[in-house]
Amino acid sequence: MQINGVVIEDTFAEAFGMKATRIVITAVNRHWARQAAETMTGFATSVIGCGVEAGIENEIPETQTPDGRPGIGVLLFGMSGKDLAKQLERRTGQCVLTCPTTAVFAGMQDGEQLPLGKNLRYFGDGYQISKLIAGRRYWRVPVMDGEFLAEETTARCGAVGGGNFLVLARTQEQALAACEDAVIAMRRLPNVVLPFPGGIVRSGSKVGSRYKSLMASTNDAYCPTLRGLVASRLDDATGAALEIVVNGLDEQDVSTAMRAGIRAVCARGAEQGITRVSAGNYGGKLGQFHFRLHEVLGALT
């Protein structure tokens, strides 16, 4: 398969089952809502080292938030419900409770409930009070700029993490520009986040290492400086490879986002240095979700 002169490899991205939740952060204005969301989703690129994978899903207008203020939707993904609950509570307490003027609400209603303000209320030292509205409980916690309002719980659901594709180009600049286009296209979609910095990964990994203490190490087959030293997947014309990883609430969300991203990459085409699109997998042995690039793209040619 080729699109605009870019070869789409006949391979697949291997992804994993995860648990996910959504919360809505509001504040007196969009700046402070986003500040809390960005702080909360910092250091959340991979469950391997961060405990959770998270990102900003969307901006929510005042007309669609529970308290009529500007809002930001955040998605968090964990390998288990227990891990997700722990990270949700820690990050809400350290990054949203502490941020001026913010409030936090459930972004999901149906499913197993996770504590949101349920335990954070104790920060009020006995002065916290609750309100029950339409069957949902909210906590008002006194803080120095007034009150922190938090819904007691939010829900979680099954999800998919680790959908990905690789962009190979003649130069680093060309690969990065194409990936930036892909990120813009993918971030327009609901139910997905791109957890790595700016949505792009430079340090794709393989399973295992020559060092016994490491469970993963650099994906040497795609490192241009190792060409000639390892079994490289790069030809002489390829000077850089970058990866985009996407997490979504279900398989269709991930597939749709991958398709949008790859289309954006291929729009630049071979004339702008894009040579191939590939994907990262582990031989199909680790993740239960396999996103075959040709199927994701369908009839595109």
**Regarding the domain delimited by 18-157, which CATH topology (the fold level of the hierarchy) does it fall under?**
Alpha-Beta Plaits (3.30.70)
Residue 247 confidence (pLDDT) = 98
190 pLDDT more than 60: yes
Tell me the domain boundaries of the chain: 2-15+159-297, 18-157
Between residues 286 and 162, the one the model is more confident about: 162
How much is the average pLDDT of 61-77?
98
Mean pLDDT of the chain: 96
Contact 150, 104 (CB under 8 A): yes
Read off the pLDDT band of 207 (50, 70, 90).
confident
Read off the pLDDT band of 301 (50, 70, 90).
very low
Backbone angles phi, psi at 163, to 5 degrees: -55, 145
On the question of a common fold for 2-15+159-297 and 18-157, the answer reads yes
Backbone angles phi, psi at 230, to 5 degrees: -130, 175
DSSP 210: S
Share of the chain above pLDDT 70, in %: 99
Closest CA to 196 of 206, 207, 209, 183: 183
DSSP alpha helices (H): ranges in 92-194?
Answer: 172-186
**CA dist., res. 54 & res. 43, Å (int):** 9
Residue 299 confidence (pLDDT) = 53
Residue 41 confidence (pLDDT) = 98
Dihedral in degrees, nearest 10, Cα atoms 228, 230, 231, 237? -40
The amino acid at residue 157 is: C
Read off the pLDDT band of 215 (50, 70, 90).
confident
Closest CA to 188 of 257, 242, 250: 257
Residue 286 confidence (pLDDT) = 85
Per the listing, tokens 């949700």 go with: 88
Residue 296 confidence (pLDDT) = 97
How much is the average pLDDT of 43-67?
96
Q: Record the pTM.
A: 0.94
CATH architecture, range 2-15+159-297: 2-Layer Sandwich (3.30)
Residue 282 confidence (pLDDT) = 85
How much is the average pLDDT of 179-194?
98
How much is the average pLDDT of 22-36?
98
Helix 251-268 to helix 172-186 angle, to the nearest 10 degrees? 140
300 pLDDT more than 60: no
Residue 284 confidence (pLDDT) = 85
How much is the average pLDDT of 191-210?
95
The amino acid at residue 228 is: G
- The least confident of 69-78, 98-107, 280-289 is 280-289
The beta-strand segments (E) located in the chain are 2-3, 6-8, 12-26, 53-60, 71-78, 103-106, 113-115, 129-133, 136-143, 146-151, 153-169, 192-193, 205-207, 216-218, 240-248, 274-278, 289-292
Backbone angles phi, psi at 147, to 5 degrees: -135, 145
169 pLDDT more than 70: yes
